[in-house]
A and B are shown apart, each in its own frame.
Chain A
Amino acid sequence: MQDSFLEVKNLTIRFGGLVAVNDVSFGVEKGSVKAVIGPNGAGKTTVFNLLSGVYRPTSGQIKFKGKNIDRLAQHKVARLGLCRTFQNVQLFKNMSVLENAMVGCHNCFKSEFMSSIFRTPLMRREEKAIRDAAMSKLETVGLDKIADMRADSLPFGKQKALEIARALASNPDLLLLDEPAAGLNSAETIEIGGIIANLKKQGITILLVEHDMGLVMNISDEVVVLDYGKKISEGTPREVQNDPEVVAAYLGQDLEQNR
């Protein structure tokens, strides 16, 4: 069996009578950028929720770095080095930009209740390390200048960038980006594209869901196309663009007649 970094096999989830994800299989190579695309309601975000442990699959397997993660709780998946952002931005609104990134570092440090209550020297050193790590991640997305602002006071584009910084702060091996450019204007989209390209250069493996086709075709090595919960195509951006089934799914052509 091939040893893909992330290996999704026959993934299926049902919500009552609805099969939201139906027998989907794909792999992600280490260091690559892969995109999951498809029309609205195709099950892209559901795939992300399955990968990150928000949902448990009805059947199928998810292997990450050789480990089965399909039954793991969310925080345990995160601890293995799989981190994500959210389509509908899920920042910690009542906290500052810096604090958001500091929560992102949660995984890499250990101070618990007792050491926090007594402010042990180890805990203080950790606090400083957390602050520095968070600050450096804010720098990579260009938010270090506004680290003291409240997260919910940022413009939407910056909030998206902060989500990425927060996810990065956990030093993930695999980063799941759920529609990083959704709701952004074209300038902001270019900015986010630049950030993602930079991450790729640093060797971070990325799986992203995105509707902005320009962005997808520019930065991804491979693309998976979902429609009604099923995988209908997979390949390089060029291959996928020329796949008649993909065109049909997006433009609503009736396949049966054409065949």
Chain B
Amino acid sequence: MKKPFFKSDYGILLGLIVLIFVPPILVKSNMMNIYYISILIFVALNSMMAVGLNLLACHAGQISLGHAAFYGIGAYTSAILTAKLGCPVWLDVIAAMVLGGVIAWILGIPTLRLKGHYLAVATLGLGFIVYIVFNEWTGLTEGPSGIVEIPRLSIFGTVIKTDMQVYYLFWAFTIIAVLISINLIRSRVGRALRALHSSEVAASSMGINVINYKIKIFVLSAMFASLAGSLYAHYMTFISPTSFSLNFSIMLVTMIIVGGSESIWGAILGAALLTILKAMLGEFLGDYKDYDVVMYGLILMVVVIFLPTGLVGGLQMIAGKIRGMRESDEKT
């Protein structure tokens, strides 16, 4: 009754790792413009955040409408520590993750004690507060003009400069985040999370500390986003508040809904599709590129109405139907 390896989560992860090596090969053989690598770098960052958000939303049943805030906290922590205070790189990455986690923890303690979707409202508020702080606390954040000259990451003295190097490094981080998530889902903790999502009262009567688990998974999810933000800052070497607005939080939620619930692969698929779409729309719409929000709204509506289980759910349904047809063919 056991699933074959290539159908298990670890099998799919291996497939993803293999897939990561394809674009660089295409670029080398001149079949793909190097420009697309920079888009795939953002796919890596957004996937990491979407996977974290998926753990929170689809496994623990809590939604964060302010994940861009944690992305921003990660980015600004790294930027301020390295560009302004001269902190060595990597140390600031860890600091960014810790700070993101601590803020999530402080926010989670009062809100996750309550039953219902209070976390959504609280994170929405956090998103606004953080965005305002980035814009207004010019002494610390340089306000709307942003922080410049953020140093690049380096490994053993080698500065990670080219897009190709960044591509491999960021995807390595994303793979680790995915691996952590799979391990977590397939454990006592993961089952407890799914259980409390389904029935909090039954989960507690099995001895599960519901509040504690919800807080912890929110902290982990925020740490993923902070890490992505920190990496982003080191890649761009320049950050400004606009990247961390409410729009981006909504975009992240759209990614996990479009991709599909109950599966972290849906989160990655959604992240990839929307990130690539955003880049394409940016080219296509030109001066009107601010209207891309309309597209995301439309996509969200279409998916929620016609594919409530997202693309992954939809694909599974189609696969099931094909299998069913084949089986009935064999019978006749």
A and B associate: yes
Q: Which positions in A face B, CB cutoff 8 Å?
A: 52-54, 73-75, 78-79, 83-84, 86, 90-95, 99, 102-104, 106-107, 109, 111-113, 116-119, 123, 126-127, 130, 148, 166-167, 170
Contact between chains at B189 and A92 (CB < 8 Å): no
A-B contact pairs, 24 of them (CB 8 A): A52-B205, A74-B204, A74-B205, A75-B204, A78-B204, A78-B205, A78-B206, A83-B205, A84-B205, A86-B201, A91-B198, A91-B199, A92-B195, A92-B199, A92-B202, A92-B203, A93-B198, A94-B198, A95-B191, A106-B206, A106-B208, A113-B184, A123-B187, A166-B206
Contact between chains at A117 and B206 (CB < 8 Å): no
**CB of B188 closer than 8 Å to a CB of A:** yes
Instruction: Give the contacts of B206-246 with A (CB-CB under 8 A).
Output: 206-210, 216, 220
Contact between chains at B184 and A75 (CB < 8 Å): no
- Closest beta carbon of chain A to B173's beta carbon, Å: 15
- In the complex, which of the residues B184, B192, B210 contacts A117, with contact meaning CB atoms closer than 8 Å? B184
Contact between chains at B210 and A75 (CB < 8 Å): yes
- Inside 8 A of B208's CB, which chain A residues have their CB? 75, 103, 106
- Inside 8 A of B199's CB, which chain A residues have their CB? 90-92
- Closest beta carbon of chain B to A71's beta carbon, Å: 15
**CB of B197 closer than 8 Å to a CB of A:** yes
The residue on A at minimum CB distance from B199 is A90
Contact between chains at A103 and B197 (CB < 8 Å): no
- Inside 8 A of A84's CB, which chain B residues have their CB? 205
- How many angstroms from the CA of A83 to the CA of B204 in the assembled complex? 10
- Inside 8 A of B144's CB, which chain A residues have their CB? none
- Inside 8 A of B262's CB, which chain A residues have their CB? 94
- How many angstroms from the CA of A112 to the CA of B191 in the assembled complex? 12
The residue on B at minimum CB distance from A54 is B201
Q: Which positions in B face A, CB cutoff 8 Å?
A: 1, 180, 183-184, 187-192, 194-195, 197-199, 201-210, 216, 220, 262
Contact between chains at B194 and A92 (CB < 8 Å): yes
Residue in B1, B180, B188, B205 with the greatest tally of chain A CB atoms within 10 Å = B205
- Closest beta carbon of chain A to B186's beta carbon, Å: 8
List 9 extra interface pairs beyond A52-B205, A73-B204, A123-B187, CB under 8 A.
A90-B202, A92-B199, A92-B203, A102-B191, A103-B195, A104-B206, A111-B188, A116-B189, A127-B188
| Contact count A vs B, C-beta below 8 Å | 98
- In the complex, which of the residues A73, A79, A95, A130 contacts B195, with contact meaning CB atoms closer than 8 Å? A95
- Inside 8 A of A116's CB, which chain B residues have their CB? 183-184, 187-190
With A116-B184, A118-B183, A119-B183 known as contacts, the answer to whether A107 contacts B202 (CB < 8 A) is: no
- In the complex, which of the residues B198, B201, B206 contacts A170, with contact meaning CB atoms closer than 8 Å? B206
Contact between chains at B198 and A95 (CB < 8 Å): yes
- How many angstroms from the CA of A102 to the CA of B186 in the assembled complex? 12
Contact between chains at A109 and B188 (CB < 8 Å): yes
The residue on B at minimum CB distance from A74 is B204
- Inside 8 A of B204's CB, which chain A residues have their CB? 53, 73-75, 78
- Inside 8 A of B1's CB, which chain A residues have their CB? 148
Residue in A52, A74, A104, A167 with the greatest tally of chain B CB atoms within 10 Å = A74
Contact between chains at B206 and A95 (CB < 8 Å): no
- Inside 8 A of A106's CB, which chain B residues have their CB? 188, 191-192, 206-208
The residue on B at minimum CB distance from A176 is B205
Contact between chains at B191 and A117 (CB < 8 Å): no
- Closest beta carbon of chain A to B52's beta carbon, Å: 13
The residue on B at minimum CB distance from A112 is B189
The residue on A at minimum CB distance from B219 is A113
- How many angstroms from the CA of A92 to the CA of B203 in the assembled complex? 8
- Inside 8 A of A90's CB, which chain B residues have their CB? 199, 201-202
- Inside 8 A of A102's CB, which chain B residues have their CB? 188, 191
- Inside 8 A of B188's CB, which chain A residues have their CB? 102, 106, 109, 111, 116, 123, 126-127, 130
- Inside 8 A of B189's CB, which chain A residues have their CB? 111-113, 116
- How many angstroms from the CA of A19 to the CA of B131 in the assembled complex? 50
- Inside 8 A of B205's CB, which chain A residues have their CB? 52, 54, 74-75, 78, 83-84, 167
Residue in B197, B202, B203, B209 with the greatest tally of chain A CB atoms within 10 Å = B202
- How many angstroms from the CA of A104 to the CA of B188 in the assembled complex? 10
The residue on B at minimum CB distance from A108 is B207
- How many angstroms from the CA of A94 to the CA of B192 in the assembled complex? 12
The residue on A at minimum CB distance from B181 is A117
- How many angstroms from the CA of A83 to the CA of B189 in the assembled complex? 20
Residue in B190, B198, B203, B262 with the greatest tally of chain A CB atoms within 10 Å = B198
- How many angstroms from the CA of A126 to the CA of B194 in the assembled complex? 19
- Closest beta carbon of chain A to B68's beta carbon, Å: 25
- How many angstroms from the CA of A167 to the CA of B204 in the assembled complex? 12
- Inside 8 A of A107's CB, which chain B residues have their CB? 206-207
Contact between chains at B201 and A74 (CB < 8 Å): yes
The residue on A at minimum CB distance from B185 is A116
